[in-house]
Amino acid sequence: MSAWADHRPLPEVVGRAVEHERVSGLLDGSPLVTLTGGAGAGKSVLARAVLDERIARHGGTVIRVGCWDGLSDGGLTDALLEAAGLPATTLPQALKEQGGTPFTGAQTVRRGAPLPYEPPRGGPRQARPADGATLAALAAHCVRQGATLLLDDCDPVLDACAQLVRRLLRAEPTLQIVVTSRRSLGLPLERVVDIAPLPVTLGEGIAGPAVELLAARAESEAAPELLVAVCEALEGSPLAIELAARQLDRMSLPQLVAQVSADGPLFYSGPAPTARHTSLYAAHAAGYALCSPTDRRVWARLSVLPGDFDPWLAGCVCASSDVPAPEIDAALERLRLASVLERVRESGGPQDTRAALSPRYRLPRGARDFGRTQLREAGEESAALRRFRQACAALAAEAQIAWQGPDQQIAVRLVEDEQHNLDAALTRPPQDADDALSALEIAVSLWFQWGACGFRREGRAHLDRLLLLSRGDTPLRARALWLAGWLAAQEHALATAEALLDQAWTAAVMHADDDGLARIAHAHGVLALYREDSGAAVACLEEAAGHRSKDPWFGPGPAHSCALLAIALSAVDAEEAANAAHRAWESRHSDGDFWLYSTVLYARALTERAHGRPEAALRACRKALAAKKLVGDPLFIAGARNMLAALRREVREGAAVPEAGAGTRWWQRGGGVRTAPFFSRLRTGS
C-alpha cells in the first residue's frame, strides 16, 4: 500500500481531455477533489493519470489507498500510514492498541462468475478513529514530502473516509487529497467532478470519444458505422467498451454489433486489475451489495423500465408491501447519489415556465441488466412487467383526456416524454389474455397520436398485431376495430378499411354503441373523401356530425365530422361549407383544440380558393399550417404547404382560379411513405 505500490502500467486515457483539465484546474486551488460516477466510468484511471502528470510537472509523490480491495486490520488510518512509509515506532502507542476491521467490500466474485457480492456475516466492525496526534503527524509528513493522498474507491468506507479527510485537512489545510467514489463525501471544501459515460457522437456525424476508445482497443481497421453501433448499444460506458473490445479475438465486429444490440444482459468478462472490473455484472454487484434492502428492490424493479421515467411511474412499478410508496422518492435520490441512476431532467423551479414538470431519471443499461437479473432470480419479473403495462395504460388514458382538454400540446408532450415506455408496453409480448388487453387499451387510448399527429402506419402495425392476440367480444376490441379501419382509410388501404369497419359495425350493434356507429359513419366519410365521392362523403359526415356523443374523450367526435363536412362541401356550396365550418368550431371542446382549428381553417381555405378569393384562402391556409405544426402530422403539413405555394403563385401572377374540385388535397400528396419507427420524431421537453 505504498505510493503507487502496484506499479501497474496505466491504460491510455481516451476521451477525457475536458475532465482531465477540470480536475487539474481544481487541484490548483482546492485541497479536496472528488471524482464521482457510475460503475466502470473510469474514475480511478483518470485520477491516476491526472496525478501522474502533476508529479511529472511539479514533482512530489502520490500515496494511494484502495479502499475496496482490502485494508489491514488497523483500518483506513493504518493503511495510509503503511502506504506513506511511516515506521510504527515513531507513532503513538495508542495507534497500536486500536483494533477492529472496517467493512471494505473486499469480498469479490470469481473472475467472470455472475454472482452478487454479499456483505460480511455479522455486519461490519468499524475501527476506532486514530488520535489527533497520529493524524497530525501523518498530515505533516505528507506536506513535507509534497505528497498527494489518493483515496481510491471509497464507497465501502465512505463515512470513515469523510471523517478521516475532515480531520486531516483540519490538521494541515494545505494537504491535497483526491477521492474516487460513486458518491461524494459531502464535505464543505469538497469539489466534485462527475465522470459521465463517453459521448458516442459529437453531432454532424463526427465520431465521439467512445468510438475513439473502441477503435484504439480493437487495434484494427473497422467501419466507423459498426464502431458507432457498438458504442451506442453500450451507452458509452468505458468498462463495457473495454470488455466488448476483448471479444474481437473470437468474433467479428458485425457479430459483436449483433450481440450487443440484442435485448438482454451482457456477460462479457476479461482480465482486470480488480475483480469488480472483470465484468459489468461484477461492477454493479459491488455497488448493489452496499445498498439497503429497499434500494435493492427498487433498483431491481426499475429494470423493467426501458427509458427514462418520473417518480410516478417508478412508484407504480416499485411500490408493494415491502416497498411503501412514500419511500420511493427517497430511494430514487439515494440511488442517484450512488451513481446507479442518472437524473436526465431536473424538476421545474418557481421561476421556470416548466414548473409543473417532475424530475426524470434513467437506469443505464449495465445497471438495468444487473437489476433485471436480480428481479428474475427473485421471481418478481412477471409481476413487475404487468404493473409496468398497467401504468402505461393509465398514462395513455391520461394523454387521451389531455388531448380533448384546453391544450393539446400537453398530451403531445406527455406522449413524447413517455415514448420509450409506451413503445415497450405496446411491443413486449403479453403474458396472457388480460395482459394483451392492457396493451390493446394503450393502443386505443393513443388514437390521437396515430390519427391526428401523423403516426398512422405505426398505429396500424400495433393494432393489427394486438387484435390477433385479443379475440374476445369486448367494447375495447370494437373500438380497436374502428380505429384500425379509420387509420387504414387515411393510409389509402381502402379495401382493408372497409373490411375492418364492417367488423366494427357488427361489434357496435352488438354492444348498442351509438358513439361507435357515429365514428364508423365518420370513417366512411373519410373513405368517400379520398375517393372524391362528394355525395357519399356529405351523407356520411352529416350523419356523424348530427350525433351527440356520450363519450367526448375518444375519437374525432361530431365537431371534427363537421369540419370534414365543410371540406366535402367546399367545392360545391360555399355557404353550406361556411356554415359547417362555423358549427364545427362552435361545438369544440376547448379553444386549445389545434387539430380541429387547423382542419376548419383548411376547409375555409379550400372554400375561398374554389370560389375565387385566393387572398382570403392564402390567409386561412397560413393559419391552418401554423395551428397544425403545434400538434404534428407531416402529411397534413406537407399538403398545406403545397396548397400555400399554389395560392402564392395565384395571388402573385393572377392565375386563373382552379376549377371546382381541382387541386391536390393534403391526403393526396405523393411521395414515399414514412418508414421511421413509432415515436421517431425528436423529443421535446426533456
* Residue range 398-409, pLDDT digits in tens: 999 999 888 888
The pLDDT of residue 646: 84
Residues 82 and 146 in one domain: yes
Cα separation values, 398 from 5, 82, 466, 478, Å: 60, 62, 21, 21
Give domain status of residue 607, yes or no: yes
> What integer is the mean pLDDT of 187-195?
94
The pLDDT of residue 47: 94
Task: State the residue for C-alpha cell 453501433.
Answer: 229
Burial environment of residue 497 by CB neighbours within 10 A (0 to 12, 13 to 18, 19 or more):
buried
In this predicted structure, the answer to whether residue 341 has a pLDDT above a threshold of 70 is yes
Phi, psi of 446 (to 5 degrees): -90, 25
- Of the CA atoms within 13 Å of residue 192, those in its CB half-sphere come to 13
How many other C-beta atoms can be found within 10 angstroms of the C-beta atom of residue 293? 9
- Give 274-303 as a DSSP string: SGGGSBHHHHHHHHHHTS-HHHHHHHHHHT
Query: Hey, which residues does 345 pair with through a beta bridge?
Result: 360
Contact 555, 589 (CB under 8 A): no
Residues 136 and 264 in one domain: no
Give domain status of residue 51, yes or no: yes
Lowest mean pLDDT among 85-89, 279-283, 632-636: 85-89
Residues 271 and 366 in one domain: no
- Of the CA atoms within 13 Å of residue 460, those in its CB half-sphere come to 18
Lowest mean pLDDT among 3-12, 451-460, 634-643, 674-683: 674-683
Of the pLDDT bands very low, low, confident and very high (cuts 50, 70, 90), residue 303 is: very high
| Torsion sign across C-alpha atoms 259, 264, 266, 267 | negative
Residues 365 and 324 in one domain: yes
Q: Biggest alpha carbon distance in the chain?
A: 107
Per-residue pLDDT reduced to its tens digit, 543-567:
999 888 788 889 998 999 999 999 9
Among 607, 597, 605, 681, which residue's Cα sits nearest to residue 639?
Answer: 605
**Per-residue burial over 442-480, b = 16 or more CB atoms within 10 Å of its CB, e = otherwise:** bbbbbbbbbbbbbbbbbbbbbbebbbeebeeeeebbbbb
In this predicted structure, the answer to whether residue 6 has a pLDDT above a threshold of 50 is no
Q: What is the pTM of this model?
A: 0.82
Residues 257 and 305 in one domain: no
Side chain identity at 531, as an amino acid letter?
R
In this predicted structure, the answer to whether residue 102 has a pLDDT above a threshold of 60 is no
Residues 219 and 190 in one domain: no
Which three-class secondary structure string do you get for 441-508? Answer: HHHHHCHHHHHCCCCHHHHHHHHHHHHHHCCCCCHHHHHHHHHHHHHHHHCCCHHHHHHHHHHHHHHH
Residues 232 and 309 in one domain: no
User: How many domains, the chain?
Assistant: 4
Residues 21 and 152 in one domain: yes
Identify which of 192-196, 508-512, 530-534 has the greatest average pLDDT.
Answer: 192-196
The pLDDT of residue 671: 40
Residues 165 and 79 in one domain: yes
In this predicted structure, the answer to whether residue 58 has a pLDDT above a threshold of 90 is no
Q: Cα 370–375–381 angle (5° rounding)?
A: 130
The pLDDT of residue 551: 81
Give domain status of residue 577, yes or no: no
Identify which of 9-23, 99-113, 126-140 has the greatest average pLDDT.
Answer: 9-23
Give domain status of residue 657, yes or no: yes
Among 667, 637, 642, which residue's Cα sits nearest to residue 453?
Answer: 637
Contact 477, 439 (CB under 8 A): no
Give domain status of residue 183, yes or no: yes
In this predicted structure, the answer to whether residue 29 has a pLDDT above a threshold of 80 is yes
The pLDDT of residue 679: 42
Contact 359, 343 (CB under 8 A): yes
The pLDDT of residue 90: 52
Cβ-defined contacts of 423-430 (< 8 Å, 24+): 423/306, 423/677, 423/678, 423/679, 424/306, 424/307, 424/388, 424/392, 425/388, 425/389, 425/392, 425/393, 426/462, 426/466, 426/678, 427/462, 428/385, 428/389, 430/389, 430/469
Task: State the residue for C-alpha cell 439515494.
Answer: 334
Contact 129, 161 (CB under 8 A): no
The pLDDT of residue 4: 45
In this structure, what CATH number is given to the domain that contains residue 23? 3.40.50.300
The pLDDT of residue 82: 85
The pLDDT of residue 91: 53
Per-residue pLDDT reduced to its tens digit, 505-530:
999 999 989 999 999 999 999 999 88
Domain boundary among 329, 363, 378: 378
Decide which of 220 and 307 is more confident: 307
Parent domain of 83: 16-89+130-194
How many other C-beta atoms can be found within 10 angstroms of the C-beta atom of residue 394? 16
Residues 175 and 310 in one domain: no
Contact 177, 51 (CB under 8 A): no
Distance CA(258)–CA(245), nearest Å, equals 14
- Residue 345: helix, strand or coil by DSSP? strand
Residues 153 and 252 in one domain: no
- Residue 47: helix, strand or coil by DSSP? helix
Distance CA(428)–CA(455), nearest Å, equals 19
Contact 266, 280 (CB under 8 A): yes
Domain boundary among 358, 378, 398: 378
Distance CA(583)–CA(425), nearest Å, equals 39
Domain boundary among 359, 378, 397: 378
In this predicted structure, the answer to whether residue 84 has a pLDDT above a threshold of 50 is yes
Among 169, 87, 74, 171, which residue's Cα sits nearest to residue 128?
Answer: 74
In this structure, what CATH number is given to the domain that contains residue 338? 1.10.10.10
Give domain status of residue 54, yes or no: yes
In this predicted structure, the answer to whether residue 479 has a pLDDT above a threshold of 90 is yes
> What integer is the mean pLDDT of 585-597?
87
The pLDDT of residue 270: 64
Contact 178, 165 (CB under 8 A): no
Distance CA(117)–CA(283), nearest Å, equals 10
Residues 303 and 171 in one domain: no
> What integer is the mean pLDDT of 561-576?
90
Give domain status of residue 664, yes or no: yes
Give domain status of residue 67, yes or no: yes
The pLDDT of residue 71: 63
